[in-house]
Chains A and B, each alone.
Chain A
């Protein structure tokens, strides 16, 4: 049991615990009587996963603290202030932000020096999925809030956007 004292082992155990809580959380969200509790459970799972990740990092916390504080503030402000009728488009917008985060993570991994071909393929797939999630969610936001209307030619834009995300050189800003 020596390896249990190892931080990496503890981290992975916490991740397993979080996964269980996430699954129970979704399960409880599916029943009206337990839905609120399920949401709290899943938030607790998120908190423990993020906390244990922060504890096991050995780097400068400035970027993390600034990002989480600012993001938490913006997210909370939007969630609390938005009108009840505007909630569906806000969910679409949040989903888009999640996609944008995925996109940026994949971009960062793209800059790593020693990616194998398979890793590179996975990174490009992630860039594609993250990017499509972002632009698609923005369109969903626009349509739900009645800011934009799409004509019949919109599939052309979709195809062009796909090519943009699939083209590796769109991301080749390695040395800013």
Chain B
């Protein structure tokens, strides 16, 4: 496939072509490269610099302190706690969203009724509206005294629940909001993937007498592999950034039960103005995310291969 891919010719030097034609390909990538350097590469250098310093906000001076910020981080229980919280959220949210999204996508794909496609924009509404609006709606609905959820619970004879107060369920409440907001995204990607599977595959499976479950395992899942991988990766990456939800729903509380790494960094850098300490935490987060993303990618790809070979053997039986 690589060999078949063709490129446009570039003229040799002898030709009398204008400067901008000769260096056209570089001119085209120039803006993006500059933006990336200015907005990502250079700031990362800055980040490393800052992490090795203590910021004195009275004098506005940076003092070099070596790796002190990092060693302090390792002993900071609040930081460790924020990592654990973030991991808990990532796991719960990604797992439930992928499961629910996959179920909904398969269900929706198998249904045939008029006006089905008109339902699609409605089903994906939550992912379209601003995150902060979503947080607002749920904050109102979760309200202990006036929230609709507790009102309904009371109405059917239960006691009120401190959705965002109770340390035992505060994180789960935040997860629920994320499920409401982003399951539609998972659904949309997987549904698009399902739509790309030709009908003949299912017809052939039917002719071979495979059951619905077999068809799902042997046909749908393997063919949906790329979309599933994509969605799991994107959700894992995005849930690792959890910030605005905990900021306005729980404020990281009760106690520190919902404080995430992002929130920790935000507070260190912009509330307590420990810029150096925040930068060190940022670097740790960066490494964790890249490590987690990379290993997840590896695990998923290897896992998909194992699944494929297992199911492949089954289909011979």
Query: Do A and B associate with each other?
Result: no
Q: Which residues from chain B sit less than 8 Å from chain A, CB to CB?
A: none
Q: Which residues from chain A sit less than 8 Å from chain B, CB to CB?
A: none
